[in-house]
Amino acid sequence: MNTIENPQVFVCVGYEQIYDDFNEVNPNDFLKNVPTVRALEFIVERQNKVIYSFSNLEEQKNFFYEMRCYIKTEEKCRIDSFLLRHDYPYFMDNQSCFLFYMLALQNNNKIDRELTIEDIQNIYKAYLYCSQIWTNNQLITSKEFSSLDEVSIRIDLPIVEFKMYKDFRPQLYKASRFFSFCNQHQLFKTFAEWFYKKHGVSNCVDYISRLFCFYESTFQNKYIHIPVEYSTQIPFFDQFAINIEECAEIWDRKNFNFLRNHFLYKIEVDTYLVLNINLLVDKLYQGLIFDFWNIVKENGGQNLKGEVIKGFDDFKSILGEEFSEPELLYDIMNKSFTSDAVKIEGRIMKANGIIGEPDYYARIDNSIFIFEYKDYILSDKVKMSKDYSEIKTAILNKICKDDGKNKKGGGQLLYNIDRIVNHNLLDKFDDFSKGEAIIYPILVINDKSFSAMGINYVFIQEFSNLLKTKYAHLKANIALPIIIELDTLFSLMTRLHTGIIKFENIVKSYLEVYKQPQTAMMPFSTFVYDYYPLEKYTKEEIDYMFDKMLQLIKEHD
């Protein structure tokens, strides 16, 4: 692994760095007379230059240089001053773009002409205003926080989902596993039929292929044209198109959820502008699950007991028990660890009478990995809260808790480590020298929110506190716990399988990073992204990872 360097801190430019009238201007005035299509196109084109690498310093600086060509001398001086003060200036980001789209859509017009210099000046002002809005929301003064973990979590939690681009590969993997599961499951097979009917597709391959082909087209074009021979698919994509009549208050309400489901701006009957490719990728799996639930709710879907599924949490609970753990976690784990590893799935333990079992167990020589899997979602209310006590409590209630009645995450890990070490929980499955073993507690999560900076830090602190207060009797070599995103495990899967990298080495390296003050807040997902980047797949790797997708294609060919 490369030497750990101090993290680069990018500084985002806002309206107040260039202009003095932030509190006096009405942002709606900036775009009122600017052609909406051209304004959207202008920002989308620039966003797409960095959407796969927002940390591209050269391209970010180019945005500043380009803006200088359209503004007054005094404003140019302010830009130059900003660039001189900051080694890592930041211009374009997803959050500012989302706000800009809302502002433009609320002020939609049918003006049809090329942009003038004044138009471009106003677009820049509108964009910088949007940038200022979200940076002000993120602003935390020294009086407002008492620790580095607080400022890290409060700054990163609201933006972590779109801080980097969304890799379509884990989404495609999860979608293929999900639909394959639906085909075999008594309950979800019916739900899937409702889903196909609602979206006007014949089957899962039809749904995935339409989205994926559309996604692939965005690599070369910001406008996506549906060829005549595929014109019957236009109603499918229209489901994701923006209805301007629904945008009258989108800026006033900062209604981001509308953009999640409507990210295509329709230019012609058969032509769309994709506002943000990440929102399209979401529809492969993450957003698909929410769509799925809405359709189940509309149709009065019932559980296996014949009871109406009342809410999303109930639906998610069924999904976690029936699908997420057995079909995602087990598959990734079994494909990752090589044949020389001892591997035990939670369902095998349960079938052998073990209650409250770990979700997955693996041992490689003297390294033992205990996995607990949580398919939880952090609410927007928590993510956007200004009350750190509320944020921290909500997080720990989901990932590290043992109040004597309920155990969650870290509490469950400690409970099972104690049973393995002191009560011979898994002796009939695995014979090893407990005195020589190093035990690595791993919490696997599905929601990227738990990969925000600082969350693994507070997880470790609370885990250590529980270890001291409730498990002081536990005499074992227990490493610090780690939160690992399921998508991150997926990105490591084939390389772990082939032995190119070793899981224990990655975990040990990350824990060394945690011990260094300058990187103690770094999440495991960022560590892997920086030091174990995912390369292009070979055909053999694709066959290995996407076996269910290939099977679905054959079934519906």
Q: Report how far apart, in Å, the C-alpha atoms of 213 and of each of 163, 179, 244 are.
A: 25, 18, 26
Write out the E strands in 416-540: 438-445, 477-478, 482-485
Are 203 and 551 spatial neighbours (Cβ–Cβ below 8 Å)? no
pTM of the model: 0.91
Can you read off the two tokens belonging to residue 163?
A: 């801080």
Torsion-angle region of 277 (φ positive above 0: left; ψ -120 to 50: alpha; else: beta): alpha
Neighbouring residues of 541: CB distance < 8 A, sequence distance ≥ 6: 494
Helix and strand tally (H, E) in the chain?
Answer: 27, 13
Residue 7 has pLDDT above 70, yes or no: no
Decide: 453 and 155 in contact? Cβ < 8 Å.
yes
Q: What tens digit of pLDDT does each residue of 354-408 get?
A: 999 999 999 999 999 999 999 988 988 999 898 999 999 999 999 999 998 899 9
Q: What is the pLDDT of residue 5?
A: 52
Q: What is the pLDDT of residue 143?
A: 58
Query: In this predicted model, what pLDDT tens digit does every residue of 171-216 receive, in sequence order?
Result: 999 999 999 999 999 899 999 999 999 999 999 999 999 998 898 8
For residue 537, the model assigns a pLDDT of 73
- Tell me the pLDDT tens digit for each residue of 415-450: 999 999 999 999 999 988 777 899 999 999 999 999
High-pLDDT (> 70) share of the chain, %: 97
Q: Which residues pair with 90 in a beta bridge?
A: 12
* Strands 264-268 and 271-274, sheet pairing: antiparallel
First to last CA, the chain: 44
1 touches 74 (CB < 8 A): no
- Read off φ and ψ for residue 241, nearest 5 degrees: -85, 155
Lowest mean pLDDT of 54-58, 121-125, 525-529, 543-547, name the range: 543-547
Residue 554 CB-density burial (10 A; 0-12 exposed, 13-18 middle, 19+ buried): exposed
pLDDT tens digits, one per residue of 500-521: 999 999 999 999 999 998 899 9
